């Protein structure tokens, strides 16, 4: 099947989750969404990640982002593991976690680990890598990141990218290296100077191709 790239439509699917059955596109609705996979339930790095996602629920909500997890473990294990996550993280996992023991969705999204020979289940089947998909309301994939099994994700960075994407969708801007919310942004290269003066009065032209302005807020 074709490789999923930035700009691809996120494949739709039906799945059983800890919050009941879903149809993925229907579940996303008019929101942004994060689909993130983890190798296996009752594993240490994954436990810290899923607890962090639960703690950051207000951050996702204020950006209009729905979050859904996935692993190759069965649904009954998900429910048992959530007890551990909540206890360790002193939190309350409310987002759904997809059960994908047959790897159908992991295969559809190319999430399986073909490199790390240790990232397998007891039957020797490959587990999922730590993949992140950010999907917009049009069901378009806007970001993909894959982490090795040994490395936990940085959700500050994932939120930073969502802030950048949402800002760029609303205004004709891009964001520079290490940009954070509230810092100056870059006037999009497609905007002529005359239009930029109207859209971003007082913008600074460092080079003909590099113009910065305060982050739009209106």
Catalytic residues: 46
Distance CA 167, CA 160 (A): 11
E strands, the chain, in order: 14-15, 22-23, 32-37, 65-71, 97-99, 130-135, 141-147, 173-174, 185-187, 204-207, 210-213
Kindly report the backbone phi and psi dihedral angles of residue 161, in degrees, each rounded to the nearest multiple of 5, phi listed first.
Answer: -65, -40
User: Could you give the CA distance from residue 64 to residue 93 in angstroms, rounded to a whole number?
Assistant: 18
What does the radius of gyration of the chain's CA atoms come to, in whole angstroms?
Answer: 20
């Amino acid at each position: 099947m074709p490789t999923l790239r930035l700009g691809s439509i996120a494949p739709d699917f039906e799945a059983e989750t800890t919050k009941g059955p879903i149809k993925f596109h229907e579940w996303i609705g008019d929101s942004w969404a994060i689909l993130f996979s983890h190798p296996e339930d009752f594993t240490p790095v994954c436990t810290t990640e899923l607890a962090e996602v639960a703690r950051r629920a207000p951050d996702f909500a204020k950006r209009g982002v729905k979050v859904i997890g996935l692993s190759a473990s069965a649904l009954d294990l998900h429910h048992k593991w959530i007890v551990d996550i909540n206890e360790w993280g002193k939190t309350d996992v409310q987002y759904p976690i997809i059960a994908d023991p047959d790897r159908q969705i992991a295969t559809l999204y190319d999430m399986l680990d073909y490199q790390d020979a240790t990232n397998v289940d007891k039957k020797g089947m490959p587990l999922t890598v730590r993949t992140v998909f950010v999907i917009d309301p049009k069901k378009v994939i806007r970001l993909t990141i894959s982490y090795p099994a040994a490395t936990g994700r940085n959700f500050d960075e994932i939120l930073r990218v969502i802030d950048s994407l949402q800002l760029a969708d609303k205004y004709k801007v891009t964001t520079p290296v290490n940009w954070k919310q509230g810092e100056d942004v870059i006037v999009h290269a497609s905007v002529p100077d005359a239009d930029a003066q109207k859209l971003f009065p007082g913008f600074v032209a460092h080079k003909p191709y590099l113009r910065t302005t305060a982050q739009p807020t209106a």
